[in-house]
Amino acid sequence: MVEVKLHDIGEGMTEAEINFLFVKPGDTVKEDEALAEVQTDKMTAEIPAPSAGVVKELLVQQGQTVKVGSTLFILETAALPDAKKQQPVAAAPKLSKRILAAPYTRKIAREQGVSIEDVTGSGPGGRITDEDVIRHAKLKAHPHKEEANLTFDSHTSDRPQAIPAKSIPFRGRRKQIAKKMVQSIYTIPHCTHFEEIDVTELIKFREELKTTRQYISATSFFIKALSLALKDFPIFNAVLNEETEMIDIKTDHHIGLAIDAEDGLIVPVIRDVKNKTIRTIHDEVKELTEKALKNELKISEITGGSFTVSNVGPLGGSLGATPIIQHPEVALVSFHKTKKMPVVIGDDEIAIRSIMNISMSFDHRVADGATAVRFTNRLAELIENPKMLVLEMV
């Protein structure tokens, strides 16, 4: 017998929530096959089978929060017969199949009488979406209709309707995000500073780069500018150690980038930004964003951040916010909507410029408002003069 325990898969991890169980007692599993999906305060991870065997006991339930070191399964490895001696017997238990689907999607499947195992997922990594379930339910109800004719707009009278939910499950990544936000807001006295930055020249510079077939995201410029500003104001690249009563200033700039993923916000980290070019930062942002959307980030890619940035501008409609700091970091900058407006420049001349709003939340125990203003002034100077930003990298 082998006890499968919840081991520490992240920095400072003490517990995790059981998102989904892929197996049940009696199932035969292969070595390294996923037994369960768990959610920590930082990421979603799978618990693999340490060896081939048969699931003898299941000691946890879906939705349960368990401590590190707790036993999740009892695996009977001796129950597997030697393949050379095996005689014809009744069909072996079906190997469990990993199904990628959110809890609410599974709820819709149950309401529609659909076996989630029979649905083909169209989402990232084969993840099953709500529409995949509804499409499967409709095909099941009308097996002679062509799938191409199955539409899902509000005018389709025979569409299988999900029962409107009066509440949704508060668990998984959403619950873990909530815990972190509560910890942060109750621990850190937040102060938020707002600023406007003229990004007209940055937009022009990016267009110039495009003519040479070089595409660099605005986020990559922002991240590099933040690193250069942190070089001048290192107090915002720090951690307050309340036990030792010391402010530990970090020498490396590991910038976390908030990503709006399907299961909730996740923050991959671009490491050692101060020693990287904007092109390298762009490539890493692209790679980490793709991994985040596919839920493929490693624990090493979402831990160890020293400062966080959120770029919500591309979503539109956001003029400002009061972002919550990633505890135990000291600050966070959020980039918001850019819009064209008349601005007075030069000798009282009026020109149409592209103006972006930013919000900077900082730990008022560690820094004062005047320091935050100087920091955002430096950040604005670098972003508003992107060619100078390039020179600063030399």
Place of tokens 């793709």: 290
Q: Which residues of 51-73 are buried (b: 16+ CB within 10 A; e: fewer)?
A: eebbbeebebeebeebeeeeebb
Give the pair of three-digit tokens for residue 137.
């339910």
Rounded CA-CA distance 375/367 in Å is 11
Q: Does residue 364 have an active-site annotation?
A: yes
Rounded CA-CA distance 137/115 in Å is 9
Give the pair of three-digit tokens for residue 391.
């020179």
Question: E-assigned strands of the chain?
Answer: 2-5, 15-21, 28-29, 34-39, 44-48, 53-58, 65-67, 71-76, 190-198, 238-241, 246-249, 255-257, 259-261, 264-266, 269-270, 307-311, 331-345, 349-363
CA pseudo-torsion sign 166, 171, 177, 182: positive
Q: Are 37 and 46 in contact (CB under 8 A)?
A: yes
Residue type at position 394: V
Torsion of CA 53, 59, 60, 65, to 10 degrees: -120
Residue type at position 146: E
Which is nearest to 275 in space by CA: 339, 224, 232? Answer: 224
Strands 246-249 and 238-241 come out as: antiparallel
Helix count and strand count (H, E) for the chain: 8, 18
How far, CA to CA in Å, does 261 sit from each of 66, 100, 172, 290, 370?
A: 25, 14, 13, 10, 35
Place of tokens 């000798």: 347
Q: How many other CB atoms sit within 10 Å of the CB of residue 146? A: 8
CA pseudo-torsion sign 248, 394, 361, 286: negative
Among residues 142, 254, 336, 364, which one is catalytic?
364
* Residue numbers annotated as active site: 364
